[in-house]
Structure 1
Amino acid sequence: MTKDALHFTCLGGGHGLYQTLLAARQARAGHIDAVVTVADDGGSSGRLRRELAMIPPGDLRMALSALTSDDEEGRLWRTMLQHRFKGNGAMAGHAVGNLVLAGLSETTGGMQAALDVLARWTGSAGRVIPVCNQPLEIEADVAGLDDDPRIMRSVRGQVAVATTPGSVRRVRLLPPNPPVNPAAIEAILNADVVTIGPGSWFSSVIPHLLVPDVIAALNETSARVIVILNLSPEAGETQGFTTERHIHLLSQHALGLEVDHFLADANAETTPGERANLSRTAARAGAEISYRDVRTILADGTMGLTHDPEKLAQALLELASS
């Protein structure tokens, strides 16, 4: 694939998606679509979701802020969207962008229309798309919450799943098999490159793949589909999970999904035997595993725990053209 100004469609949520969108901008994408999870139930998003029966706006707001125009006005919009009110009153903890989206959603008739309006105001480099046009809930089967580790308990809610002291074995969406946002399918089918992840595996990445129409679109698209693996396990929901376990869980939840590449951090300490196992695990999803230096370097010269947008952009462009 040698086309210039590629169309990137990025699936995820939270800080992981934010970094990927910055990378897509560094890659000088011709267009960027962010397909965003809608299962958050904590903090400002959770409050607005419960009080207004709306799609939680937090992950959508973060994606918008990554795409604001790269000029003084755009940077002001980015700061404003992310600003949180302080104090102890009713507004405390709310992000300004969440409130703007809540108001626009009511006045325009829906969240997608609200996002499109705010994208125009902010000179966005792309479009932000909720994966579904209704709020979803995550429910997980968790082991290790009882004395007998074989006993599975059900844990419901994104925050509860992300912070459980037990070991998450499987997640599902409520309601099951929700109707997909048609704009999400269009974004996947029209893309040149589709990225999945990084991010909280059970609450930001896998939920997209529990929507059957998303799996069908990912298998139908002519885009290069790349799963960006996390740099380290997430505290709580994937504590202690290996890279191989992350790939296995993704394949276990997304039955029938085929991807082209799993992108792993070249700085991770892995033996030749471990890399051989990872290659076999990736191959079961029809994919190759590729290693690139994608970590940020901190001011003191040590490696950070986030993806460096410039390095990630280069890695994605290399895989897209391979």
Structure 2
Amino acid sequence: MPLYLRRPESAPSGNPRIVSFGGGHGLYAALRAFRLLTENLTAVVTVADDGGSSGRLREEFGGLPPGDLRMALAALCDDGEWGRNWRDVIQHRFSSEGSLNEHAVGNLLIAALWQILGDHVEGLDWMARLLRTHGRVLPMSSVPLAIEADVELPGGRREVIRGQSRLAATDGQVAQVRLSPPRPPARQETLDAVAQAEVVNLGPGSWYTSVMPHLLVPALADTLYRSQALKILTLNLPGAELETRGLTLAAHLDSLHAHAPRLSFDAIVVDAAAAAEEPGLEASAARLFGAQLWARPLAGRRPQQHDSLKLAACYRDLLLDAGLSVDEQW
């Protein structure tokens, strides 16, 4: 049965307006897939990273952490010589005995643009022009955020863990996630992109530190709830990621619903092999979110990473089923 699409006024035929939320490698895979289907693509990226190069720059300059934003820009580079070379440049990390060790070149370029221009979105737009990206990259909030979570540790002890890098490494069970500041502002450009989208996608990615934080920014969450776009949730592949170790996909859905009970989806995309291991997943998708389950082979060669071409094929079929035309660039 075709999906029911309550969409805004359509973009030019074959180029639906798509917004994809997330961060890190999960968002990278989704963007590499969506850029094969449209030129009207916007990445909305988490800004709570506090580790590695991003954390050091955030601590020194006080702005947004640039790492996940850089990853999204890299995903949107084209596959020509210009795009490949610049993707390699911004992803390159210095190796030295000095203070530049492990800094990503793209993080430094973004931080420089922010310092020169004094505006996060303007700096990202200039990076996008330099890279000739297929789409736009926007932060989910206009201020840097900290993630805080209540975690059940082995032995039954409960602890509050603060910080993205610490939460990502916990071996406990996350019960609740919060942001600090607790009601952070969203950029108007981000809200406008979501309001005008024909398709919005959440995930895949680190569940509590890359996916769920978007729903904890009040203005952004409210705009997403009210959106008439086709709404997609892309679930993670099974794996040993610490923050969700031992968590079933059905439990992923339960935790998301607990944090955002007003949220609904039209489709939940999941790897077919993973879905086969959880026969109750389809019922959970319908009960919690009113969504159809789209189970397709999505795993790549690397463990716990999606294959972007397989994702693109699934998204294409899903969008066509919903009555949207796509501009395939295979």
Q: TM-score, normalised by structure 1?
A: 0.92
Q: Could you tell me whether the CA contact under 8 Å between 1:68 and 1:123 is conserved in 2?
A: yes
What is the match of residue 73 of structure 1? 82
Question: What's the CA shift for 1:254?
Answer: 1.3
After TM superposition, list the pairs within 5 Å mapping 1:30-179 onto structure 2. 30-144=39-153, 147=155, 149=156, 151-179=157-185
- Which of residues 258, 271, 276 is equivalent to 1:270? 276
Deviates more, 1:248-257 or 1:45-54: 248-257
Secondary structure of 1:306 counterpart: coil
Contact kept? 1:17, 1:198, Cα under 8 Å:
yes
TM-score (normalised: structure 2)? 0.90
Deviation at 1:144, TM superposition (A): 1.5
Note the C-alpha offset of 1:269. Answer: 6.0
Taking every aligned residue pair, what percent have the same amino acid on both sides? 43
Which residue matches 1:26?
Answer: 36
Q: Which amino acid aligns with 2:312?
A: A
- Residues 281, 20 of structure 1: alpha-carbon distance in 2 compared, 3 angstrom cutoff: closer
Q: Does 1:6 align with 2:16?
A: yes
Question: RMSD over aligned Cα, in angstroms?
Answer: 1.6
SS of the counterpart of 1:135? coil
Counterpart of 2:219 (choices 197, 213, 221) is 213
State the 1:251 CA deviation.
0.9
Query: Within 5 Å, which residues of 2 pair with 1:247-286?
Result: 247-268=253-274, 270=276, 274-286=278-290
| CA–CA separation in structure 1 for the residues paired with 2:115 and 2:194 | 27
1:55 deviates by 0.2
Name the amino acid aligned to 1:132.
S
Q: Which residue of 2 aligns with 1:287?
A: 291
Deviation at residue 57 of structure 1 after TM alignment: 0.1
**Correspondence list, 1:166-205, <5 A:** 166-205=172-211
- Could you tell me whether the CA contact under 8 Å between 2:285 and 2:292 is conserved in 1? no
Distance 1:281 1:141 in 2: 25
Structure 1 counterpart of 2:324: none
The Cα of 1:283 is off from its aligned counterpart by 2.7
Amino acid of the residue matched to residue 171 of structure 2? P
Counterpart contact for 2:254–2:288, Cα < 8 Å: no
Helix, strand or coil at the partner of 1:101: helix
Kindly indicate whether the alpha-carbon contact (under 8 Å) linking 1:200 and 1:234 is maintained by their aligned counterparts in 2. no
Cα distance in 2 for partners of 1:277, 1:17 equals 23
**Structure 1 residue runs of 4+, over 4 Å off?**
none
Cα distance in 2 between the residues matched to 1:249 and 1:94? 34
How far apart in 2 are the matches of 1:226 and 1:122? Answer: 28
Distance 2:110 2:225 in 1: 32
- 1:275 match: secondary structure: coil
1:86/1:92 contact within 8 Å kept? yes
Moved more, 283-292 or 124-133: 283-292
Q: What is the deviation of 1:246? A: 0.5
2:27 aligns with one of 17, 22, 37:
17
Q: Structure 1 stretch 66-75 or stretch 97-106: which is displaced more?
A: 66-75
Q: Are residues 144 and 104 of structure 1, via their aligned partners in 2, closer, same or farther at CA, if it must alter by over 3 Å?
A: same
- 1:117 counterpart letter in structure 2: W
2-structure distance, mates of 1:251, 1:19: 24
- Find the aligned partners of 1:90 and 1:98 in 2 and give their Cα distance: 14
The residue number in structure 2 matching 1:313 is: 312
Hey, what's the Cα distance between the residues in 2 that align with 1:95 and 1:226? 31
Aligned counterpart in structure 2 of residue 241 of structure 1, from 233, 237, 247:
247
Query: Secondary structure of the residue that 1:33 maps to in structure 2?
Result: strand
Measure, in 1, the Cα distance between the counterparts of 2:78 and 2:299: 25
Aligned partners of 1:233 and 1:241 also within 8 Å:
no
2:232 aligns with one of 226, 229, 234: 226
CA distance, structure 2, for counterparts of residue 171 and residue 61 of structure 1: 25
Distance 2:299 2:134 in 1: 24
Q: CA deviation at 1:321?
A: 3.0
Flag the 1:67–1:295 CA change in 2: closer, same or farther, 3 A: same
